[in-house]
Amino acid sequence: MGAWLFWKQRNACVFEANMPSMVKILRTFDEEHHLWCLAGARDLRRLGLRTV
């Protein structure tokens, strides 16, 4: 998931002239993690990450 989010941000910077933002990547990762857990991805909960 992390690599995918970096790739999406890279594409946004290249093709949409967005500014890179580590804060945005971390926030998006947090949101995605939460949604995956809600969808039933039990193994992600074991990572012990904070959810949104």
Would you say 3 and 25 are in contact if contact means Cβ atoms under 8 Å apart? no
Model pLDDT for residues 1-52, shown as the tens digit of each residue: 889 999 999 999 999 999 999 999 999 988 988 888 888 887 776 766 654 4
How far is the C-alpha of 49 from the C-alpha of 47, rounded, in Å? Answer: 6
Would you say 7 and 28 are in contact if contact means Cβ atoms under 8 Å apart? no
Phi-psi region of 40 (alpha: psi -120 to 50; beta: other; left: phi over 0): left
Q: pTM for this structure?
A: 0.70
pLDDT attached to residue 52? 43
- Of 37, 28, 39, the residue nearest 3 (C-alpha): 28
Single-letter code of the amino acid located at 25:
I
pLDDT attached to residue 50? 59
Would you say 50 and 27 are in contact if contact means Cβ atoms under 8 Å apart? no
